[in-house]
Structure 1
Amino acid sequence: MDISLIETLRWEPDTGFVRLERHLARLAQSAEALGLPSAEKARDALFAALPPSALPLRIRLELFPDGRIDVQTAAFTPLAADAVWRVKLATTRLSSTDPLLRHKTSRRALYAAARAEFPAADADEVILLNERGELCEGTITSLFLDDGTGPLKTPPLGSGLLAGVLREELLETGRAIEAVLRPEDLAGGTILAGNSLRGLIRCVPA
């Protein structure tokens, strides 16, 4: 299979890698499911690639089909706590029956197509739906809705989406539950998008 696995992590000078164990666990699970070797070498590769830095870093690890691991680091500037993203809905559709959507892979054509539907100046994130009209996820984020009734609601994996690391944490700690969501549901609460790199971000329809 000509496909690689990707993990994007944040490194903080005081605390180190954010959600490291969750990222490594997802990588290992995906590598086993897709038959990619050498996932067990990812931890050492991450630490070996760390440059001397007193600033937050964005670190991208890619595991290739031949077992090669590439790690790239870059300075990272967190979003302001009061940041608000503008979001739009894509016409590009995901398939709820595609098992690869649950893994973070190099297969990005659908997400790139969705992002390309709108100029960057018009939307900070673009949300994709599946063939049934159910909300799935953003191009780089998991989707959440705070409708005021309790935990955040996030689409189930069965709708066709990535098993996000932040999403997993929120589900396991009870801060979120799975629920099928449709576009009309977004009008009934606060929209949030999030990933392990940036955390949760408040969103408004653009």
Structure 2
Amino acid sequence: MDRPVEDFSLIETLRYEPEAGFVRLRLHLARLQRSARRLGFATPKNVLGELEQSVAGASAPLRVRLTLDREGQTQVTTAPVVPLLPDTLWRVRIAATRLDSSDKLLRFKTTRRAVYEAARAEYRPDEAEEVLLLNEKDEVCEGTITSVFVADDPDTLRTPPISAGLLAGVLRTELICQRKARVGRIRLDDLKDRPLYVGNSLRGLIRAQLIWN
């Protein structure tokens, strides 16, 4: 079961590159502040300073995880991250676990992860690199750690609307702002004859192959 509504924290997972700094930092901080405001969390202080301190002296790419609790307290942890090769292809499968489009908390990145953990547990790691979740209307929503995109044409991706019951991912937001992606509902049939991608701010956009169950 998920934790009680009062007992969760907000999360931002960033990528740090020694030469470039934090990737998509502005979008991550904007989402954190917006989420805190909408959920009634205390305003975080000196987040940027804590992030910079966590990567001081780093000479290799890092995964940086920032959490913010309701009182405005933050924690930052780091771990090495190995870049994916350009020709990486992830196998993805469809979970039986469903998302509820009426659950507004799905729009925020939080430590309430039970539904995603249940979906991921349906397949072994050697069966799929990612697992996609549908909502109660059988609309494609998102992966357990990624946003979902289909290519309608060589220049434009389509990604599900937030109202379907999914996270406003940072990579997703960037691609929409750059007009490289548009918002539109995705059905399973759309995945049969269109190129499929998954992605997040940490890993970037990844080609995917749907393995039909």
Task: State the alpha-carbon separation in 2 of the partners of residues 59 and 150 from structure 1.
Answer: 31
5+ long unaligned stretches in structure 2: 1-5
- RMSD after superposition: 1.1
Structure 2 residue aligned with 1:195, among 200, 203, 210? Answer: 200
Runs of at least 4 residues off by over 6 Å: none
Q: Contact 2:14/2:63 (CA < 8 Å) preserved in 1?
A: yes
Structure 2 residue aligned with 1:155, among 151, 160, 175? Answer: 160
SS of alignment partner, residue 70 of structure 2: coil
Which residue of the partner structure matches residue 34 of structure 2? 29
5+ long unaligned stretches in structure 1: none
Q: Contact 1:11/1:57 (CA < 8 Å) preserved in 2?
A: yes
SS of alignment partner, residue 161 of structure 1: coil
Instruction: Return the offset for 1:169.
Output: 0.4
Structure 2 residue aligned with 1:172, among 177, 182, 191? Answer: 177
Instruction: Return the offset for 1:150.
Output: 4.5
| Alignment of 1:11 onto 2:13 | no
SS of alignment partner, residue 147 of structure 1: strand
Structure 1 residue aligned with 2:124, among 109, 119, 123? Answer: 119
The number of equivalent residue pairs is 206
Identical-residue share of aligned pairs (%): 51
SS of alignment partner, residue 39 of structure 1: coil
Instruction: Return the offset for 1:188.
Output: 1.7
Instruction: Return the offset for 1:37.
Output: 1.2
Instruction: Return the offset for 1:93.
Output: 0.5
| Alignment of 1:137 onto 2:142 | yes
Which residue of the partner structure matches residue 76 of structure 2? 71
Instruction: Return the offset for 1:40.
Output: 3.8
Amino acid at match of 1:166: L
Task: State the alpha-carbon separation in 1 of the partners of residues 182 and 207 from structure 2.
Answer: 18
Quick check: 44-53 or 190-199, which moved more? Answer: 44-53
Structure 2 residue aligned with 1:100, among 81, 105, 108? Answer: 105
Structure 2 residue aligned with 1:185, among 186, 190, 196? Answer: 190
Which residue of the partner structure matches residue 48 of structure 1? 53
SS of alignment partner, residue 163 of structure 1: coil
Q: TM-score, normalised by structure 1?
A: 0.97
Q: Contact 2:45/2:72 (CA < 8 Å) preserved in 1?
A: no
Q: What do the CA deviations read for 1:125-162 (whole angstroms, capped 9, x no partner)?
A: 00000000000000000000013264100001111100
Instruction: Return the offset for 1:67.
Output: 1.8
Instruction: Return the offset for 1:183.
Output: 0.8
Task: State the alpha-carbon separation in 1 of the partners of residues 62 and 128 from structure 2.
Answer: 25
Task: State the alpha-carbon separation in 2 of the partners of residues 2 and 17 from structure 1.
Answer: 28
Q: TM-score, normalised by structure 2?
A: 0.94
